[in-house]
Amino acid sequence: MGSGKSKVTITDVARAAGVSSSAVSYALNGKPGVSEQTRKKVLEIADSMGWKPNSAAKALSVAHTHTIGVVLNASSTLLGVEPYFMELFSSVGVELEKEDYSLLLRFAHDDDEALRVHRNWIAAGSVDAVMIFNVEIGDRRVELYRQHPEVPALVFSDASVSGGLTTISSNDADGTRQIVKYLHDLGHTHIARVAGPERFGHTYLRDRVFSEETAKYGMRYDCLHADYTPQEGRDCTKRLLTLPQTPTAIVYDNDVMTIEGLHVASAKGINVPEDLSLISWDDSYLCTVTEPRLTALARNIPALGGQVVSMLYALIDGESVANQFEPGYRLITRESTAAPRAE
């Protein structure tokens, strides 16, 4: 942790904001006593001036929260359906238990709200470190934690969008290559993909590598973007299957959309895998309960939990931590993929 004293004081912030020092204190510590408008103004000014909590007080408080913060702003519906976060939290939580750490879980209905929670956590010293998911290009959370190195952030994204914050990246380029090569080797020449939201860094990366790899093999490639929900998984599949030339394989960016794709195909009388191969990015229990069971790109989430927690502890101890990759992806082939029917 840095030993230098912060140069910007609460008095400086109060002067710049034109409010009392106690109002600044209330605002920075997330306490009642100031209007939301004042709080917002104070936080912005404090941020822009590079205000940081006193490092001694900070170190004291950091030693005591024993919590890792996560703000989730995905829709609650999706969180109940898609197993990834609960699997990850369980795996991380079991590792955290060994050192008496907890997860502080906060829901936020939009990005502004999420940012406000992060600001309050930083000001109040509520957490020892945070985990940041679904990073967008130019993400404001990344900017915020760059300004506040006293609260370490572990970013789940490609290093190219983390602004220098420590990252743990899934090797999406490698995962993409495994999928495209597998489909090419089966004989597919026209594949499609139902991707996640375009604004996410990992979607961007997968988009780019899918384009490159399919081009390399001379395959035709269509891509639609969705929001990971069952509804958009269905809608995109319907659009892909009404194209004049339909693909012989579809890759989905999560398990839930793949399952919905299977249902759409089934309703249209399209046989999986004889007429259409389906692949889920992210394996889960869901992929094993359908008929046919789904070929999926699997992460090793239990191993990931241990790796994540080691990185978090090192960051909390003020160590310099290199960006790391998750354990490698592994393509698990089940009954939803096969060679395309000969024309």
Nearer to a second copy, 86 or 215 (CB): 86
- 3-state DSSP call for residue 288? helix
Task: Tell me the C-alpha distance between 217 and 202, whole Å.
Answer: 23
Query: Which residue lies nearer to a second copy by CB, 209 or 278?
Result: 278
Please identify, using beta-carbon distances, which residue of 99 and 319 lies nearer to a second copy.
Answer: 99
Nearer to a second copy, 183 or 278 (CB): 278
8 Å CB contact between 10 and 53: no
Q: Which residue, among 99, 25, 112, 24, has the nearest Cα to 65 in the 3D structure?
A: 99
Give 255's contacts (C-beta < 8 A, 6+ positions apart). Answer: 82, 83, 280, 282, 283, 284, 286, 287, 294, 296
| CB-nearer residue toward a second copy: 181 or 263 | 263
Minimum distance from CB of 113 to a second copy (Å)? Answer: 7
Q: Which is nearer to a second copy, 196 or 305 (CB)?
A: 305
Cis previous bond, 292, omega within 30:
yes
Binding site for a second copy (CB under 8 A): 30-31, 64, 67, 72, 76-77, 79-81, 83, 85-87, 89-91, 93-94, 96-97, 100, 102-109, 113, 230, 256, 259, 263, 284-286, 289-291, 301-302
List, in order, residues 6 or more apart from 104 with CB less than 8 Å away: 67, 68, 69, 70, 126, 127
* Minimum gap (Å) between residue 259 Cβ and a second copy: 5
Shortest approach of a second copy to residue 92 CB, angstroms? 9
Identify the DSSP state of 269: T
How far apart are CB 284 and a second copy at their closest, in Å?
A: 8
Rounded to the nearest whole angstrom, what is the least distance from the CB of residue 289 to a second copy in the complex?
Answer: 5
| Beta carbon nearer to a second copy, 87 or 136 | 87
Find the shortest distance in angstroms from Cβ 59 to a second copy.
Answer: 14
| Phi, psi values for residue 296, rounded to 5° | -150, 155
Cβ(253)–Cβ(196) under 8 Å?
Answer: yes
The least CB distance from residue 108 to a second copy, in Å, is 6
